[in-house]
Structures are given as C-alpha cells and as structure tokens.
Amino acid sequence: MDFDLTPEQEQIRKLARDFCDAEVAPGARDLDRTEAFPEELLPRLFEVGFLSAAIPQEYGGMGLDFLSYGLVVEELGRADASIRSLVSVNVSLVSSILLNWGREEQKRAWLPRLSTEGLGAFGLTEPDHGSDPSAMETSARRDGDEWVLNGSKMWITNGSRGILTVVFAQTQPGSGARGITAFLVPQDIPGYEGRAIHGKLGLRAGDTAAITLTDVRVPDAARVAEVGDGMKIALSALDNGRFSLAAGCTGISQACLDASVGYAAEREQFGKTIAHHQLIQELISDTFLDLEASRALYWKVAWKHQKGERHTIESSVAKTFCSEAAVRNADRAVQVHGGYGYSDEYPVGRYLRDARVTTLYEGTSQIQRLLLGRHLTGVSAFV
C-alpha cells in the first residue's frame, strides 16, 4: 500500500481543506447553537461538488476515486460533523445504492438530481427496530403496477429536507430479512411526512427526521433490484457508509488535536504554558496515536475498494475504531481546555457531542463487535 497521495489527491484535499476553513468551520458554532439547517451552505456544497464526490461524471458527479472522497469527508468532519453527515448519507448510502443496484433509468433519473439539486435519505431504522432491522414493520403491498407503503421510520438523516428517501419495507410478511425490498420514494409524494427531530445532543445542524408513510403509492419502477434484495442492498451500502463515517471521525480527531495543541501553547498555569506539563503532553500524544491509527484504517478500506475487493470487515473495523477514537479524543480535548472546554467559546465541546453519535449509528459498537466476532469465530451471537 502506497501512503503517498497522488498530485490529484493532494489537490482535492487542499480544495476541501480551503473550502472547509473558509465556508464550513466559521458557521459551525451558530448552526449548532440554533439547531439550524445549513440553508446557505447547501448550494455551495453542491456547487463545489462534494455532494456528488464519488458519483461518476457521466451521472453529473465529481467522479473522485474512493480515497479522494475519503479525504473530502475527513476535511468536512474536521470542520463540522453535521455537514459531514449529510454528505456521507447522500453519497455513500443513497448514491451508492443507485450506482450499485439501480436500473439505468433509475440512475439517470436520480443521480444528477442528487448531485445538483437535493439530498437523499436512507430509511432503514424504525421506532421499534434499530439494531435488528430485519424485524421491521413498514410494509409494501403490491397493487397492480404499484406498491402501497405504510409505516414509520426513525432517525432518518436528510429525511425531511431532502428530495428522495430509499425506503426499506417488508414485502413478504413473516419472512424477516429475506422479505425486505428497497423503494425510491420522492419526499414530495402524497402520504410521505418527514418531521425534523430537535433536541439532539449533537449533529444539531443536520436534518434528522421521523417519517410517516401513509398509503404512499409508488410505481413498480421505483423498486430497487429484486423483491427481497432489500437487506443485501442496505448492508452493502453500509460497507460504504462505514468508510465515510470512519473518515469523518478521523476529521474530528484531527480537529481535537489541532485545538488541543493550539490551546496548550497559549494557556499558562504554574508560570508556563500548559504544553510544558507532562500530563498535558500525554493527552495530546494519546490523541495523536488514535488519530494516526484512524487514518491508516480508513485509508486501508479505500485501498481495498480501489482494488475492487469487498471490504465489509475492514469497514467495520475502521468504523468501530475511528468512532470510538473520536469520542476518546474529543473527551481529551475538553480535558486539555479545562473549564473553557465546557462552553462553546471553544469548539471542543461540540466535537464531543458530535462524535458521540458515531458509535451508535450505522451499527452500534456492540453490533460491530458481533459482526467481527462472527467473522472470527464462525458463530453468530446476534440473537
């Protein structure tokens, strides 16, 4: 594996870094404070191409290689994890489903729109079914050339401010995971209601929605792949989503390191800057250790992806480690900042609140360990 970036990858990282420093990071505190959706930033994210970073150019995207996409996501994570999250879902979950599973007409209909116009959402989780989506209750019933969808989804990123939701629904009651099918559901269709969830601990600028589907009718042409393929589709998308999440968490860890080093060089206690105190150096060094390991792990996923190999395990390892490292690092950064870290005068409190969700979504840390445990022992301990 080559750790040197190509000139093009260096260039894209610089573009992302400059953009994030100039246009994303400066507004992050206010968006967090006011729980405001980034109305003004969204068109800029489309313009600069980050919302279509890994979508091929023939479908209106930026056509970046996987590592370049990861570098963009890392920079977004460093600047504002709320913004990173909406980009990751649009690109890694929704667009990747269309690219890998969609029919040509579905790709042509939706990918250019997701690259320029509006956000996509991934509707798997339900109020009563999170870690075990195979038990989902949302149903899709065939009626002639149409499907009729009923049910509810919970915690859906981009679910009320987007244009499309990939809805997973049970089409063969009683058959569990094997009966789940994916549908492309426009968010402006009659019977679709997305309500923004407020009061979140973090990712407060992101749109997280509770969705109700009441007799939503979509044509059979909105079905993705075959009836019963839904769980395979969701899991393969999560291989990409977990990569993006790992890259974003690496960005949070980098932000924690930068903030801690900067503060340690300024803040004086006992007659010298706190950087002189060995225990502060320990906090900063441990942050760096976790950061370096995080970056190596998500780069490894990109390396496998670019060779055309499956990376379910590598994505799971990177997701688990990078998310837990981001939580540890954000906690260390608050510690380095002392009492000032506890107010939003400094960004480290937001890093901690934003990092906290990353060990929960796209498979909790417990679920990741069950996946890895099954891989290592051959024994499934899920139920």
Ligand X SMILES: Cc1cc2nc3c(=O)[nH]c(=O)nc-3n(C[C@H](O)[C@H](O)[C@H](O)COP(=O)(O)OP(=O)(O)OC[C@H]3O[C@@H](n4cnc5c(N)ncnc54)[C@H](O)[C@@H]3O)c2cc1C
* Catalytic positions: 362
Query: Judged by CB under 6 A, does residue 315 bind ligand X?
Result: no
Query: Judged by CB under 6 A, does residue 360 bind ligand X?
Result: yes
Query: Judged by CB under 6 A, does residue 119 bind ligand X?
Result: no
- Reduce the secondary structure of the chain to three states and give it as a string: CCCCCCHHHHHHHHHHHHHHHHHHHHHHHHHHHHCCCCCCHHHHHHHHCHHHCCCCHHHCCCCCCHHHHHHHHHHHHHHCHHHHHHHHHHHHHHHHHHHHHCCHHHHHHHHHHHHHCCCEEEECCECCECCCHHHCCCEEEEECCEEEEEEEEEEEECCCCCCEEEEEEECCCCCHHHHEEEEEEECCCCCEEEEECCCCCCCCCCCEEEEEEEEEEEEHHHEECCCCCHHHHHHHHHHHHHHHHHHHHHHHHHHHHHHHHHHHHHCEECCEEHHHCHHHHHHHHHHHHHHHHHHHHHHHHHHHHHCCCCCHHHHHHHHHHHHHHHHHHHHHHHHHHHHHHHCCCCCHHHHHHHHHHHHCCCCCHHHHHHHHHHHHHCCCCCC
Query: Judged by CB under 6 A, does residue 31 bind ligand X?
Result: no
Query: Judged by CB under 6 A, does residue 183 bind ligand X?
Result: no
The residue among 301 and 357 lying less far from ligand X, judged by its C-beta, is: 357
For ligand X, which residue has the nearest CB?
130
Using the rule CB under 6 A, give the single segment among 50-58, 150-158, 180-188, 336-344 that binds ligand X: 150-158
Among residues 52, 95, 125, 260, the one that binds ligand X under rule CB under 6 A: 125
Using the rule CB under 6 A, give the single segment among 125-133, 183-191, 274-282, 324-332 that binds ligand X: 125-133
Residue holding tokens 């901690």?
Answer: 352
Distances (CA, A) of 336 to 85, 281, 324, 327: 26, 9, 19, 14
The residue among 72 and 203 lying less far from ligand X, judged by its C-beta, is: 203
Query: Judged by CB under 6 A, does residue 155 bind ligand X?
Result: yes
Query: Judged by CB under 6 A, does residue 165 bind ligand X?
Result: no
Using the rule CB under 6 A, give the single segment among 99-107, 277-285, 329-337, 364-372 that binds ligand X: 364-372
Using the rule CB under 6 A, give the single segment among 123-131, 139-147, 225-233, 291-299 that binds ligand X: 123-131
The residue among 204 and 311 lying less far from ligand X, judged by its C-beta, is: 204
Q: Which residues in 47-106 contact ligand X (CB under 6 A)? A: 89
Residue holding tokens 């060779």?
Answer: 307
The residue among 93 and 274 lying less far from ligand X, judged by its C-beta, is: 93
Among residues 165, 208, 253, 323, the one that binds ligand X under rule CB under 6 A: 208
Query: Judged by CB under 6 A, does residue 163 bind ligand X?
Result: no
Residue 106: half-sphere exposure toward Cβ, Cα within 13 Å: 24
Among residues 24, 25, 124, 166, the one that binds ligand X under rule CB under 6 A: 124
The residue among 77 and 280 lying less far from ligand X, judged by its C-beta, is: 77
Query: Judged by CB under 6 A, does residue 210 bind ligand X?
Result: no
Using the rule CB under 6 A, give the single segment among 57-65, 151-159, 171-179, 303-311 that binds ligand X: 151-159
Query: Judged by CB under 6 A, does residue 355 bind ligand X?
Result: no
* Site for ligand X, rule CB under 6 A: 89, 122-125, 130-131, 155-157, 200, 203, 208, 357, 360-362, 364, 366-367, 370, 382
